[in-house]
Amino acid sequence: MKFGLLGRTLGHSFSPEIHGRIGDYDYALFEREPEALDAFFHEDWQGINVTIPYKEAVMPYCTRISEGAQRIGCVNTIVREADGSLSGYNTDYDGFAFALDNAHIEIANRKCLILGNGATSKTIATVLADKGAREILNIARHDAIPYSDIHLHHDAEVIVNATPVGMYPKTPARLIELDGFTKLEAVFDVIYNPHRTQFLLDAERLGVKSANGLAMLVAQAVVAAKYFIGIDDVAARIRPILRAMTKRDENIVLVGMPGAGKTTVGKALATELGRPFVDIDARIAADVGSVPDYIHTRGIDAFRALETAAIAGAGKEHGQVIATGGGAVTVAANKDLLRQNGRIYWINRPLEDLPTDGRPLSAGGLETVRRLYDERKGLYADFADVVLPPANLTQTVSKILEDFNEAMRD
């Protein structure tokens, strides 16, 4: 039996992995241009998921469409029956409903804004209505409330991004600012790569509940598999897959003073976990040569610009251990670049144990190091999800692994 995902651009899809975790069946990516749809529906496949831009375009090919998909007005799962006819369903509905519940986002009696008005937004609107939303409004560039009027709706309590704005590799990007929303309780982003879009990071900064689209993606896939191969333990399969994928893809990021041991700890973690190790300073040195010489000749501001570019590149990738330079925290933008896919640990080593040789900003000895620490300690604390007390290498690695494993269970 042959299953897969139909779409136009699918290079970064997580769907084959998810279906591989669900059951033992072949699952492929079917990239097709619009003019190739007719031919595709004569190809040999048993069932497909459908993504943008074809969730509405595939409906005429279906012999039967479920009541839910008819009500929503789009299809994302199609099964070829024994007689060759096609049955269409909308499992995105199940996926989004699960994701809201999983994130404990309350919808009843809330004013909800949906960013975008494509096929996915129709599913979202239906779920929000079924969960008792007080008001549901679309904000979009065409055929909806324009973004220029969003200030008229700063009393919204829930906002859902149903657009691809902010998706890998075009990070960071956002459609709207959240600062003006006075009653905001929760935001949801259908994007799952990166783990935290700029939209979600902004919500996090405001203390607003937030969730990405991975739970929605996994849940809709498991429900689709019910139609594909008849699995009956749908609910039991979703969370283990979600946890496994989140843990595998979340970066471990290390910050701390120059000489705090970030590289040593990072290499040990990478070996333990079988992950790539990324040393930001080493990546810069590979391009410009000696970092101290570069700072001496070009200045610290020029180096910081290179550092932020290197962090931007590393931060948007997945499943790594990243060691940052000691001054990475002095550029505020670096926090979101690292947080988009990472959990950040501050290695807070005693100052008298920090080496100073070959480190331009620490070259004045312990007093210089102490002044540098006093300037940066608040920044390290702000960046970090976890502060690690002084410990030896084995203990530090153990503490990070213990915390990381526990955090990925949530």
Q: Give pLDDT tens digits for 122-170.
A: 999 999 999 999 999 999 998 899 999 999 999 999 999 999 999 999 9
Considering the entire predicted model, what is its pTM?
0.91
Q: Can you spell out the DSSP letters for 31-64? A: E--GGGHHHHTTSS-SEEEE-TT-TTTTGGG-SE
Reply yes or no on whether 55 is catalytic: yes
Cβ atoms within 10 Å, residue 196: 22
For residue 355, whether the previous peptide bond is cis, meaning omega lies within 30 degrees of 0, is no
Both structure tokens of 179: 């600062």
Query: Which pair of structure tokens corresponds to residue 221?
Result: 């896939």
Quick check: 351 pLDDT over 80? no
Of the residues 2, 55, 170, 316, only one is catalytic, namely 55
Q: Looking at the predicted structure, is the pLDDT value of residue 391 above 90?
A: no
- Model confidence at 363: pLDDT above 60: no
Report, as an integer, the average pLDDT of 61-88. Answer: 96
Query: Buried b / exposed e across 32-50, counting CB within 10 Å, b at 16+?
Result: eeeeeeeebbeeebbbbbb
Q: What is residue 366's predicted lDDT score, i.e. its pLDDT?
A: 66
Rounded to whole angstroms, how far apart are CA atoms 262 and 282? 12
Using only the alpha carbons of the chain, give its radius of gyration.
Answer: 24
pLDDT, tens digit, 9 for 90 and up, residues 247-296: 999 999 999 988 889 999 999 999 999 999 999 999 999 999 988 889 98
Q: Are 124 and 96 in contact (CB under 8 A)?
A: yes
SS3 113: strand
Q: Where are the alpha helices (DSSP H) in 103-213?
A: 119-130, 198-205
In which order are the strands placed within the sheet that holds 86-89?
A: 26-31, 2-7, 47-50, 77-80, 86-89, 64-65
pLDDT at 410: 65
Tell me if residue 80 falls in helix, strand or coil.
strand
Angstrom distance (rounded) from CA 56 to CA 276: 41
